[in-house]
Amino acid sequence: MQTHLNALFVLSLAITGCASQTAPFNGGRWVDLTHAFSGETLYWPNAERFKLEMVFDGTTAKGYHYSANRYMAAEHGGTHMDAPIHFAGGGETVERIPLDHTIGPAVVVDVSESALSNPDYLIDVADLTRWELTHGRIPDHTIVLLRTGYDRYWPDARHYLGTAERGDAAIPHLHFPGLAPEAARWLADQRQIKAVGLDTASIDYGQSTHFESHQIFAKRHIPIFENLAGLEPLPATGATLVALPMKIAGGSGAPLRAVAWLPNR
């Protein structure tokens, strides 16, 4: 019950706009895990990129200032959520994902040392069990965040994605770390996590052609958070994640605002 109340309290803070750089109460701080959306935002090479167009910005005929824009973008790009429908027929669309799957305790598995030295690095079960030897068993119903360190390259597509090319022809040239399918299956079945996220463009590594890890999580109703930013300050255990997507009816994915509450140690 206390855990449930804490999650509701965190959600109420986020909704009311209290989730700022300094905490509205003693004992911790908020960290923003979201890349800002702009013309520099990275998308899959063949996806529509973010566009912001000014509608009006200036003084109206009645003498007051008014500013408004319109935007357009693909669902999957920048810091965003993959809903289960993205890779599982009949899976949940964005608006049907329970809030409980987007808010809760998070653990951070840091594989940056290996990932930064190998752009095709696959996070495997050994990485996860090695983490458990130090920090204990990953609890059921936890959000698992995988830190590769790749957010340092954002928004340099050549380093972040492995190529700056655009279009279908660029896809075979993608190189970035991801989660091995056997590790995805282990997290979903042996640890029963409720969500997973990482700081690369896809939960499957850049050279994947069948997107097995996407399929595994989607079929088990587990949302995926991709292109996260700033995971470095998060402790291995003890953070609380709030990852709220734009509520797009029928969406296979959506832009995401992700923040984490870090208690003082």
Q: Please state whether beta strands 224-226 and 195-198 pair in parallel, antiparallel, or not at all (unpaired).
A: parallel
Does residue 55 belong to any structural domain of this protein?
no
pLDDT bin (cut points 50, 70, 90) of residue 5 is very low
Q: How many residues does the chain have?
A: 265
pLDDT of residue 190: 97
Q: Count up the domains in the chain and report the number.
A: 1
Tens digits of per-residue pLDDT, 16-27?
444 444 444 468
Q: How far is CA 78 from the centre of its chain?
A: 9
Q: Is the pLDDT of residue 196 over 90?
A: yes
Cis peptide before 263 (omega within 30 of 0): no
Find tokens 């996260």 and name the residue: 228
pLDDT of residue 26: 67
How far apart CA 232 and CA 230 sit, in angstroms, is: 5
Find tokens 């810091």 and name the residue: 79
Tens digits of per-residue pLDDT, 239-262?
999 999 999 999 999 999 999 999
Does residue 65 belong to any structural domain of this protein?
no
Does residue 7 belong to any structural domain of this protein?
yes
Backbone angles phi, psi at 157, to 5 degrees: -60, -35
pTM of the model: 0.90
CATH of the domain at 157: 3.50.30.50
Parent domain of 220: 2-48+74-263
Percent of the residues in the chain that have a pLDDT greater than 70, as a whole number: 90
Q: Which residues on neighbouring strands pair with residue 70, listed in sequence order? A: 53
Does residue 61 belong to any structural domain of this protein?
no
Does residue 248 belong to any structural domain of this protein?
yes
Does residue 119 belong to any structural domain of this protein?
yes
Does residue 54 belong to any structural domain of this protein?
no
The torsion of the CA quartet 28, 154, 130, 256, rounded to 10 degrees, works out to 60
Does residue 107 belong to any structural domain of this protein?
yes
